[in-house]
Amino acid sequence: MESRKLQKRILYAMMLVNLFVIMYYVIVCTVSKSVICEMNMAYAFLSNSGCIPHDTFTLCRDLLIYYGALCALILAKEDIYDENILNRVLICAGEMALSLIVVRTLNFYYSGIALLVLADLLYYENKKVPRVFFIVLQVLEFVIGNDAILSYFDNNIQFSSYLSGFDPMVRSWIIVAESLMTFTNILLFLLFVLTMIIRQKAENSRILRLNMALSGKNAELHEANVKLQEYSETIKRMTEIEERNRLAREIHDTLGHALTGIVVSADAGKILFDAAPEEAKARFDVIGQTARQGLEDVRRSIRALRPDALESHDLESALEKMIENFRETTGADIRYAQEAGKLLLAQDEEVTVYRIVQEGMTNAIRHGEATQINLIIDRKDRNLRVRIFDNGVGMQGKKTGFGLNYMKERVELLKGTLRYGNREDGSRGFFLEAEIPVRGVNPETEIPKGSVGL
């Protein structure tokens, strides 16, 4: 940005220097004509020049008009120079035409204005082809546009003829002044070009740094993409494992409960088959019903749905139905007390409570060989508590089975706790106690119907 401002200042300085040069030639020619007339050298001057010099007023007026128009175009170029190709061509052609007219009006005494126009064109034009074209044209104007070359082709009065009337000393000072102004204009142009080169190198360095930074960011992005892909694969594997575990829990809970009832009923049916055929037949009917219900629960588990009992009933009704069915199939004495009030739970909480009761009763019969089960659902502080006690053989050793592990996982997913072991009151048997900090919402309104509970 600073280099652009410096180039702009150099451009303004060149405009001022060229104005001084133009006025210099006008003043020298005017004074020279007066000196020639005073010294009665007019006839010799006209004979050597071969033509009549321009009127001073007309020359001064024309130069001020043409050069003023050129400067006005340069100053206004920042606002009117846009991306429109036709507009850019017209502006550049106008500048070059005005500079050529000024040089022609000065009788080709001075062509340094071509450098001013070239600097201005280089300042605004960034495209390579137009730049080369402008450089060629303006260099030709600068080199060819002087009276030493064009005097052979045009009948002009050479500037040296105007100097012939002056004293040699004065003539020397006039030539020195001309050389200084011409040199200043060339020096300013070279400074402008040098500044432009420095700015271009700085811009190239900045672009190189940006490219290097972009390459670094691309490498980081590539690395992030690789990590993201790896993370995605990890999440996918974890999701698959979690889904397999979920299905394993569902199938274990469903089949374990159903098969336990079937095994117990089948054993009882065999015993009663001869002694009480009707009762044995009733047992086998219950076995068929339990098997069908278990099969349906398996199908629903695979389809990632809630247990069938919870799909068609509320939690309290589903628990009562399951307890009654389990009582019938196993013949166990199941004592159920619901002291928690209205059970308004979220769907995942409903499924967890249902599976805890189901797994607890199944374990009591299958592993504990219990004949009596006590089930109590109440509240402790703001938590829902489920307690199951039996009179079975209790826990043998410290190793836990599949059902207890997944029951614990279910409870912990709801930020709850699960305790189990041999009864602490000294009685024979096993106890299970789960505390769940329920959210206390209505599942019909808070949880979308058909979503899966864990």
d(CA 150, CA 112): 15
Looking at residues 441-449, what average pLDDT do you find? 40
Q: Which two tokens stand for residue 382?
A: 């703001």
pLDDT tier at 298 (50, 70, 90 boundaries)? low
pTM attached to this predicted model:
0.47
pLDDT at site 452: 34
Q: Give the pLDDT confidence of 155-213 residue by residue, as tens digits.
A: 667 777 777 777 788 888 988 988 899 899 999 999 988 988 888 888 888 888 888 88
Kindly report the backbone phi and psi dihedral angles of residue 165, in degrees, each rounded to the nearest multiple of 5, phi listed first. Answer: -85, -10
- What mean pLDDT comes out for the span 129-146? 81
Q: What tokens does 451 get?
A: 């979503």
What is the rounded CA–CA span in Å between residue 151 and residue 160? 12
Q: Which of 49-53, 136-140, 221-225, 359-363 has the lowest mean pLDDT?
A: 49-53
Quick check: 285 pLDDT over 90? no
CA pair distance 270, 239, nearest whole angstrom: 45
pLDDT of 442 strictly over 60: no
Please state, rounded to an integer, the average pLDDT across all residues of the chain: 80
Q: Looking at residues 90-118, what average pLDDT do you find?
A: 87
* Structural domain boundaries in the chain: 2-166, 237-446
Please give the pLDDT value at position 451: 36
Number of neighbouring beta carbons within 10 Å of residue 384: 23
pLDDT digits (tens, 9 = 90+) for 388-440: 999 988 887 777 777 788 788 888 888 899 999 888 887 889 999 999 998 76
Pick the CATH number of 237-446 from 3.40.190.10, 3.30.565.10, 2.60.40.1230, 3.40.640.10: 3.30.565.10
* DSSP collapsed to 3 states, the chain: CHHHHHHHHHHHHHHHHHHHHHHHHHHHHHHHHHHHHHCCCHHHHHHHHCCCCCCHHHHHHHHHHHHHHHHHHHHHHHHHCCCCHHHHHHHHHHHHHHHHHHHHHCCCCCCCHHHHHHHHHHHHCCCHHHHHHHHHHHHHHHHHCCHHHHCCCCCCCCHHHHHCCCCHHHHHHHHHHHHHHHHHHHHHHHHHHHHHHHHHHHHHHHHHHHHHHHHHHHHHHHHHHHHHHHHHHHHHHHHHHHHHHHHHHHHHHHHHHHHHHHHHHHHHHHHHHHHCHHHHHHHHHHHHHHHHHHHHHHHHHHCCCCCHHHHHCCHHHHHHHHHHHHHHHHCCEEEEEECCCCCCCCHHHHHHHHHHHHHHHHHHHHCCCCCEEEEEEEEECCEEEEEEEECCCCCCCCCCCHHHHHHHHHHHHCCCEEEEEECCCCCCCEEEEEEECCCCCCHHHHCCCCCCCC
Tokens 């700015």, residue located: 199
- Look at residues 377, 399, 395 and name the one whose alpha carbon lies nearest to residue 386: 377
The pLDDT of residue 155 is 60
- Residue pair 403/355 in contact (Cβ under 8 Å)? The answer is no
Work out the pLDDT band at 253, boundaries 50, 70, 90: low
Tell me which of 191-200, 253-262, 357-366 is least confident: 253-262
Residue 337's DSSP bridge partners are 376
Q: What percent of the chain has pLDDT over 70?
A: 79
The residue among 254 and 169 whose pLDDT is bigger is: 169
Phi and psi torsions of 201, nearest 5°: -65, -40
**pLDDT, greater one: 3 or 374:** 374
28-42, 77-91, 364-378, 389-403 — which one is most confidently predicted on average? 364-378
Taking residues 21-45, report their average pLDDT: 77
Phi, psi values for residue 137, rounded to 5°: -65, -45
Task: Return the pLDDT at 341.
Answer: 87
